[in-house]
């Protein structure tokens, strides 16, 4: 397949990223061959090395980019609310919107951490912990303001994130529930879980 006339390096890089996400999601990182990826994008296999020097580095950079985008998006949503409840509701809505829209990347992030080198894995886990800490801080804020009483904010953080992220395994945009209806269902589940349901 010939490279599209007039395509730029930036466009090619983005095309590689999209094609790699699809291949890794469908076949796994270890099974992804760079020659096949080059064919998907329509470039020569040798040209791919202008964008990917090492396969593992590419996975690391992909996961890092996704997590940086996640953290940037979260900051815009949860740094504004003035109460713990509003911040928690904003976190729930953001997490569900982002994760249902980026299901393939979420799957890769959860399944392919094992394919990273120890140093890269440590950095990616650190970014994930930064995200988790945002929720833990909200739960601790609510404890401090006596909005709710969460016995163990750290464990509760893990439980809430696992529940919210699990939606990626079954949610379909054209399913019975709209995204907003889904958010409302999960909002009630989370608030019930911490002993607080907003009427």
Given this structure, which CATH class describes domain 55-193?
A: mainly alpha
Domain 1-53 in CATH 1.10.10.60? The answer is yes
Point out the least confidently predicted range of 1-5, 46-50, 191-195.
1-5
Rounded average pLDDT over 64-69: 94
pLDDT band, very low/low/confident/very high, at 7 (cuts 50, 70, 90): low
Q: What residues does each domain of the chain span?
A: 1-53, 55-193
The whole-number pLDDT of residue 8 equals 67
Helix boundaries (H) for 112-178 = 118-144, 153-165
- pLDDT (tens digit per residue) in 9-34: 788 889 999 999 999 999 999 999 88
- pLDDT (tens digit per residue) in 140-156: 999 999 999 999 999 99
CA distance 139 to 145: 10
The backbone region for 152, taken as left when phi is positive above 0, alpha when psi lies in -120 to 50, beta otherwise, is: beta
């Amino acid at each position: 397949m010939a490279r599209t006339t007039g395509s730029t390096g930036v466009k090619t890089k983005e095309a590689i990223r999209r094609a790699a996400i699809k291949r890794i999601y469908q076949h796994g990182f270890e099974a992804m061959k760079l020659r096949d990826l080059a064919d998907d994008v329509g470039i020569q296999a040798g040209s791919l090395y202008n964008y990917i020097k090492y396969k593992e580095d590419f996975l690391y950079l992909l996961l890092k980019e996704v997590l940086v985008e996640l953290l940037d998006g979260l900051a815009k949503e949860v740094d504004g609310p003035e109460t713990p409840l509003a911040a928690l509701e904003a976190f729930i809505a953001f997490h569900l919107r982002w994760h249902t829209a980026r299901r393939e990347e979420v799957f890769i992030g959860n399944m392919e951490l094992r394919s990273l080198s120890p140093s890269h894995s440590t950095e990616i886990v650190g970014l994930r912990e930064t995200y988790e800490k945002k929720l833990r801080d909200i739960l601790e804020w609510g404890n401090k303001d006596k909005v709710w009483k969460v016995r163990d904010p750290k464990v509760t953080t893990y439980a809430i994130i696992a529940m919210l992220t699990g939606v990626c395994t079954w949610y379909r945009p054209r399913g019975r529930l709209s995204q907003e209806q889904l958010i409302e269902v999960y909002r009630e589940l989370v608030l019930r879980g911490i002993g607080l349901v907003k009427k």
